Structure 1
């Protein structure tokens, strides 16, 4: 049995958080206050489904791809490995070849990008699309990154999104991994059951695996 506590690796959803420049910003406000209703406060949120820590459904970049409510939730729960690739700006097959992927189907990349949820970056480390073939050979089904995208921020072709999709690898973005050590963890990053959606916010948490844990 694990005794470690869960670590929240989600971006906090705040009214001053960063978002894609052309996208809908996050907003929370009270629509009904307790002093007016006599019993409760009731709030509302407005947001893009790609703001904060979120998953991409294949429909996000492929009109024929599955939507959020069609995805297997088991993809987003289970053993994962956090890999520190913060020493490079180009993450290639050669970069990932230095690590072992034994016994895991989910990989989370801790890059050099600082985890500042209030600032949208001007540039992010690059993921070579060829890593998709490599990860698929290792049995990986989910990749998570601490960046807004697995492709360059100005990319229209989204080659890494498509390469991952072709290889059956799903995408988790905007994790907060600055204070997470490299190693093996249990991951929970469940999407909301938003019917027909192209993405969903998640509450992503990790718990460190110990030597006494069993697969």
Structure 2
């Protein structure tokens, strides 16, 4: 039997929620099938932070690397999903300590019982910076979350992003983990090779691990 796959990407369409002030998804048809035109061709405008996405260091560091310059290996490989559902505004170490033994290099935290894919959540849960520090000390190279940011929505200092910058970690945001049981998977969430961009949309999936 083929390994089960969980699609952990929210739908992207006109009206998909974005950070207030960010560029929403828009689409228009540059060409449509008609006499003399054999194809439909669309034109899209969007922030690279719409939907499930990978932040580049450039997003939080004026001298940081662009998303297209990053090594892809952090976005592909063994991953652990940890549940910290409705535990408060910050994911503290106590909320995830039950699931950190033999931690793989990629960690995704579920905070929602049901992700609000149809609306902006200004009260989103974020990572406590100390939690990221401790995950990195256990070997984590990528962290992810099912909210729009690893920092509180109203943060002006982006403390958790600055920990990511200092430790050279990678981050995925805006995932949908509603149907994913706590446990280990293979993560596949490759960013586009956008050579000057501060982030990239990803089609993030988890694949069931199979025995050798």
TM-score by length of 2: 0.94
The CA distance in 1 between the partners of 2:20 and 2:61, in whole Å, is 22
User: In the alignment, which residue of structure 1 is the partner of 2:121?
Assistant: 121
Q: Which residue of 2 aligns with 1:13?
A: 12
CA apart distance, 1:170? 0.9
Deviates more, 1:74-83 or 1:109-118: 109-118
The CA distance in 2 between the partners of 1:201 and 1:191, in whole Å, is 6
CA distance, structure 2, for counterparts of residue 19 and residue 187 of structure 1: 24
User: What is the aligned residue count?
Assistant: 211
1:7 Cα shift?
Answer: 1.6
Answer yes or no: is 1:181 the counterpart of 2:181: yes
Partner residue in 2 for 1:149: 149
Shift of 1:87: 4.5
Q: What is the CA deviation profile of residues 51-79 of structure 1, one whole-angstrom value per residue up to 9, with x for unaligned ones?
A: 11001001101011111111101110111
User: Which stretch of structure 1 is more off in the superposition, 167-176 or 109-118?
Assistant: 109-118
TM-aligned CA deviation for residue 80 of structure 1: 0.3
- Give the drift of 1:113: 5.9
Give the match's secondary structure for 1:175: coil
Unmatched runs of 5 consecutive residues or more in structure 1? none
Partner of 2:44: 45
1-side partners of 2:36 and 2:106: how far apart? 46
Is the CA contact 1:60–1:198 (under 8 Å) kept in the aligned structure 2? yes
**In structure 2, how many angstroms separate the alpha carbons of the residues matched to 1:205 and 1:55?**
13
Contact kept, 8 Å, 1:88 with 1:112, in 2: the verdict is no
Deviation at 1:120, TM superposition (A): 0.5
Please state how far the C-alpha of 1:12 moved relative to its aligned partner: 1.3
Shift of 1:202: 0.3
Query: Would you say the 8 A contact 1:132–1:169 is kept in 2?
Result: no
Question: 1:158-177 residue pairs with structure 2 within 5 A?
Answer: 158-177=158-177
CA distance in 2, matches of 1:102, 1:170: 20
CA contact (8 A) 2:80 2:103 kept: no
Deviation at 1:38, TM superposition (A): 2.5
Structure 2 equivalent of residue 80 of structure 1: 79
Q: Aligned partners of 2:108, 2:150: CA distance in 1, in Å?
A: 12
Unaligned 5+ residue runs, structure 2? none
C-alpha distance in 2 between matches for 1:37 and 1:74 = 45
